[in-house]
């Protein structure tokens, strides 16, 4: 019998169906070992020795592998075909050697890019050994991330209260977001005008032409900067004689995009499907590992963590066959297309992400998939097929028009585009091109010298706009362009920034929180080298060289560590005043915006003589007056210049009450206040004024009068129940935002905006709760609708839900709370299985809810020890473990 080890139970289940009784397939559930979350797990003084630890679920899986090996004549390591997969195989091998479990059993390493029977059988026929160079690259990356996290994060905790952690890639990604925010804050709108003439040909064709030149000088978009200039040009055009000066038509080819790689899949799924990168990768993992299609479990796509963009020859042939059948021979190019990776630091070669069987059309599999899975599969299928289709043929026409006004010569231009043959565009068009393409409009037929009739002249005022904030998709694209991190880690990096509360998502855009701005400013001031784009990208290139066996991984670590420890040492004697001075300089425009009256933005508007400055308190940074304690004025970091003149509730020097404006109905002040449980909105004064707390995720700095009035209007009706016809309300309660129908309450997902929640979404939440939630929202044991993660290896469904004390995984009678670093959207089946297994073992309850037998649960010695232990002593014994676990987020950042 041959023992084959993979990462996940879903993958094991699929492969087990392909192989005969000669094979036993077992899952490692990912990594079986990890670095303990405490100092000393990586020892630079001992030549970067790394202390790995098997605990909890890992120990159980190793025991199962050891047990299965007793009847095996070969061990086959079949983990994923990337560095992380190579590392998992290496960890399994190291753990088995430590237990002396192999006893001469031969070991083979196989990889396959798709979980299909043919791919698995082909891999088994071509085994190899574990690639030590790939393992070394993993060890170097893991050691770097650990050393940065465990060395830099404590500096942040000491010097910058409220900061959570810093990470090698995480901090650079945060800097990109914060740099954009500072660009937006420094932006000053600029006025400009456009002149457009509506003209007609002698045959009656009407079109628009834009002013592009005057008296031999070119006019660009921003050149006409005042209304007076625009009116002068408009007056001249009103009396001008127009004629065609030149007509130029050029044929243009548009070629298809390459198939998806990890980063482009995340970007397009975000733009087209509205999926977060973490959710995209979770869905892709399910499609890769195998789905039941008509009684057969099959992997639907190839491996989804890849930098490759080319496809296997047989896949290209299959794509061309599908194109000819579905679209016709005209859409099949004469020569198959080949794509190459442009990035200089691309990972080890793999195929692009594509369907395993291109003849499996989206409509054929949709009924077997969850809606999101079906949409993602369709996106991958379309992109793959389009990549092998014929190019689109277009004709781009440019018409130059002369306008004569006495001795003056004005020039106008009209452009148009016509699709002659749609080619791949008939199937697929990338989202960004929908926004960037010129208007696909056809101009009427014209010839040189033809006179034109003026129909209208329009002079329109415009203002330049600041650069947009990054979306998750555009941030992934920017990180890839800069060579920062790896595509397979982007989703985790973005999740970490949100979990640390360094950024929030507002209308699908990443907005840095004050905490994130402070951390970035601190790192730029005192660890500038380690948040520079070039330095981080160069480190990635060095890691690639390690994976190619070009340099030794410990040499790389020595060079990094020598410089890094010097930078850390320079901050030991850093005084708080130096930190504040540096932060005031970097964040000046952010914290102290220019005042509308032109006054000093840092002068205190309460006492009149003090100077405002950043202060560091127990719970983070705030702005205070230099005349403290005589003047006790304080405010959050980010309020507008006008708001900085805060009115006071408790007399001069009391913390500010920010006036947002007046309620148009009652004409009383709407204010933002700091309360015992956080900021809240209040309408007017009096004994019992109307109030509303801020929903989670909404910062005080982002609250406007419009948002405040909308919050005060809650609860509001958003829909009628489809059966009862009674109103469905949305509001904010003791446990956060909710929707309500009668006595039925349903939680609103954290990604839903309570102020923009629509009727359809509210009905979905209520119907889901009524059909499966059970009980009142506030009732004991009330269940809330959750997301189905899949089957537990031991039977029964795993569901992740939002609970009163945070998200949790449910398996029968076992409920396991998610760790702070793990989100409800990103948790995988494997992580869920690990959580509920650990909880079940600790509580003595099985998934079905049956208590374990006491005799089986403990040995007599353990039972005696437990009975003799005092409860207080036991409680105290747990405290150090919690303290040690606290830096874990920093280590993994």
CA 258 to chain centroid, in Å, comes to 23
Q: Which residues of 15-49 are buried (b: 16+ CB within 10 A; e: fewer)?
A: bbebbeeebbbbbbbbbbbbbbbbeebbebeeebe
- Which among 192, 257, 288, 303 is annotated as catalytic? 303
513-to-126, 169, 181, 658, 706 alpha-carbon distances in Å: 51, 18, 10, 19, 21
Report yes or no: 777 and 729 within 8 Å, Cβ to Cβ: no
SS (H, E, C) 616-658: EECCEEEEEECCCCCCCCEECCCCCCCHHHCEECCCCCCCEEE
Torsion of CA 772, 775, 777, 779, to 10 degrees: -150
State the sign of the Cα–Cα–Cα–Cα dihedral 770, 773, 778, 782: positive
Question: Which of 621, 643, 634, 632 lies closest to 701, judged by CA?
Answer: 643
For residue 629, say if its preceding peptide bond is cis, omega within 30 degrees of 0. Answer: yes
Tokens of 421: 């043959």
3-state secondary structure of 573: coil
Tokens of 799: 């569901």
Antiparallel, parallel or unpaired: β 74-77 and 2-6: parallel
For helices 829-843 and 9-18, angle between their N-to-C axes, nearest 10 degrees: 110
**To which H or E segment does residue 690 belong?**
strand 690-693
For residue 715, say if its preceding peptide bond is cis, omega within 30 degrees of 0. Answer: yes
Torsion of CA 707, 708, 710, 712, to 10 degrees: 160
The residues, ordered by sequence, that sit 6+ positions from 114 with a Cβ below 8 Å of its Cβ are 288, 299, 301, 302, 303, 356
444-to-200, 212, 414, 449 alpha-carbon distances in Å: 9, 20, 11, 15
The CA distance from 96 to 103, in Å, is 10
Q: How many alpha carbons fall within 13 Å on the CB side of residue 715?
A: 17
Question: Which of 569, 485, 471, 481 lies closest to 171, judged by CA?
Answer: 485
Q: Annotated catalytic, 470? A: no
The CA distance from 284 to 301, in Å, is 8
The CA distance from 434 to 387, in Å, is 18
Secondary structure (DSSP) of 190-233 = -EEEEEEEEEE-TT--EEEEEEEEETTEE--TTS--SHHHHHHH
3-state secondary structure of 394: strand
The residues, ordered by sequence, that sit 6+ positions from 265 with a Cβ below 8 Å of its Cβ are 280, 284, 304, 353, 379, 380
CB atoms inside a 10 Å sphere around CB 529:
12
3-state secondary structure of 47: coil
The CA distance from 77 to 129, in Å, is 9
Q: Which residues of 800-827 are buried (b: 16+ CB within 10 A; e: fewer)?
A: bbbbeeebbbbbbebbbebeebbbbbbb
The residues, ordered by sequence, that sit 6+ positions from 303 with a Cβ below 8 Å of its Cβ are 80, 81, 82, 113, 114, 288, 350, 351, 353
3-state secondary structure of 386: helix
Tokens of 606: 């309460």
Residues with catalytic roles: 303
């Amino acid at each position: 019998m041959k023992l084959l080890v993979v990462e996940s139970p879903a993958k094991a289940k699929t492969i087990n169906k392909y192989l005969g009784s000669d094979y036993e397939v077992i899952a490692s559930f990912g990594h079986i070992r990890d670095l303990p979350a405490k100092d000393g797990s990586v020892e630079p003084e001992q030549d970067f020795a790394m202390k790995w630890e098997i605990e909890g679920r890992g120990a159980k899986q190793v025991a199962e592998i050891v047990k299965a090996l007793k009847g095996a004549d070969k061990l086959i390591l079949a983990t994923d075909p990337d560095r992380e997969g190579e590392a998992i195989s290496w960890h399994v091998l190291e753990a088995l050697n430590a237990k002396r479990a192999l006893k001469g059993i031969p070991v083979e390493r196989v990889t396959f890019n798709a979980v299909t029977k043919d791919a698995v059988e082909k891999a088994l026929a071509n085994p190899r050994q574990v690639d030590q160079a790939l393992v070394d690259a993993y060890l170097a990356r893991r050691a770097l991330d650990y050393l940065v996290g465990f060395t830099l994060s404590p500096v942040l905790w000491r010097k910058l209260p409220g900061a959570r952690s810093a990470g090698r890639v995480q901090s650079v990604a945060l800097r990109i977001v914060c740099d954009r925010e500072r660009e937006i804050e420094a932006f000053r709108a600029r006025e400009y005008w456009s002149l457009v003439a509506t003209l007609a040909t002698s045959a009656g064709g009407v079109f628009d032409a834009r002013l592009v030149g005057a008296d031999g000088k070119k006019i660009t978009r921003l050149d006409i900067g005042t209304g007076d200039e625009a009116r002068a040009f408009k007056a001249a055009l009103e009396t001008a004689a127009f004629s065609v000066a030149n007509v130029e038509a050029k044929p243009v080819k548009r070629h298809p995009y390459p198939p998806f790689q990890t980063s482009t899949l995340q970007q397009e799924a975000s733009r087209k499907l509205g999926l977060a990168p973490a959710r995209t990768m979770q869905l892709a993992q399910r499609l890769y590992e195998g789905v039941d299609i008509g009684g057969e479990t099959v992997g639907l796509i190839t491996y989804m963590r890849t930098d490759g963009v080319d496809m296997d020859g047989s896949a290209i042939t299959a794509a061309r066959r599908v194109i000819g059948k579905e679209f016709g021979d005209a859409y099949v190019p004469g020569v198959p297309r080949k794509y190459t990776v442009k990035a200089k630091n691309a990972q080890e070669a793999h195929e692009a992400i594509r369907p395993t069987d291109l003849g499996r059309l989206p409509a054929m599999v949709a009924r077997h998939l969850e809606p999101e899975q079906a949409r993602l599969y369709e996106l991958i299928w379309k992109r793959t097929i389009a990549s092998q289709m014929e190019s689109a043929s277009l004709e781009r026409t440019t018409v130059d028009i002369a306008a004569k006004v006495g001795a003056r010569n004005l020039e106008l231009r009209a452009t148009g585009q016509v699709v002659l043959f749609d080619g791949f565009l008939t199937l697929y068009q990338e989202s960004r091109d929908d926004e960037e393409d010129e208007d696909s409009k056809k101009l009427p037929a014209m010839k040189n010298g033809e006179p034109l009739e003026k129909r209208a002249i329009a002079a329109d005022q415009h203002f330049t706009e600041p650069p947009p904030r990054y979306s998750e998709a555009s941030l992934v694209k920017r990180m890839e362009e800069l060579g920062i991190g790896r595509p397979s880690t982007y989703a985790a990096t973005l999740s970490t920034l949100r979990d640390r509360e360094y950024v929030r998502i507002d209308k699908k855009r990443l907005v840095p929180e004050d905490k994130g701005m402070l951390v970035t400013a601190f790192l730029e001031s005192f660890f500038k080298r380690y948040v520079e784009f070039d330095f981080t990208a160069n480190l990635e290139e060095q890691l690639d060289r390690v994976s190619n066996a070009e340099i030794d991984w410990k040499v790389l670590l020595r060079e990094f560590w020598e410089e890094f420890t010097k930078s850390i040492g320079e901050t030991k004697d850093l005084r708080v005043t130096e930190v504040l001075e540096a932060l005031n300089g970097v964040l000046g425009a952010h914290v102290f915006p220019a005042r509308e009256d032109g006054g000093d933005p840092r002068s205190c508007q309460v006492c009149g003589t003090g100077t405002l400055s950043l202060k560091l308190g127990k719970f983070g940074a705030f702005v205070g007056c230099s005349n403290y304690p005589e003047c006790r004025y304080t405010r959050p970091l980010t309020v507008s210049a006008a708001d900085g003149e805060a009115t006071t509730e408790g007399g001069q020097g009391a913390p500010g009450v920010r006036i947002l404006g007046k309620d148009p109905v009652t004409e009383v002040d709407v204010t933002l206040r700091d309360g015992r449980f956080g900021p809240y909105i209040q309408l007017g004064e009096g004994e019992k004024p109307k109030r509303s707390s801020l929903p989670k995720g909404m910062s005080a700095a982002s609250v406007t009068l419009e948002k405040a009035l909308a919050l005060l209007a809650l609860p509001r009706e958003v829909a009628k129940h489809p059966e009862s016809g009674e109103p469905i309300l949305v509001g904010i309660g003791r446990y956060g935002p909710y929707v309500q129908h009668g006595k039925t309450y349903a939680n609103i997902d954290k990604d839903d905006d309570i102020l923009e929640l629509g009727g359809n979404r509210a009905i979905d939440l209520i119907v889901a709760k009524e059909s499966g939630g059970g009980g009142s929202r506030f009732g004991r044991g009330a269940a809330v609708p959750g997301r189905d993660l899949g089957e537990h290896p031991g039977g029964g469904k795993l569901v992740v839900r939002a609970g009163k004390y945070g998200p949790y995984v449910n398996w029968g009678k076992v409920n396991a709370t998610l760790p702070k670093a793990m989100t409800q959207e990103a948790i995988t089946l494997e992580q869920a299985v690990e959580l509920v297994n650990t909880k079940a073992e600790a509580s003595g309850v099985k998934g079905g809810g049956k208590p374990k037998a006491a005799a089986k649960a403990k040995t007599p010695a353990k039972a005696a020890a437990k009975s003799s232990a005092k409860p207080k002593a036991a409680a105290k014994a747990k405290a150090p473990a919690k303290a040690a676990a606290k830096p874990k987020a920093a280590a993994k950042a």
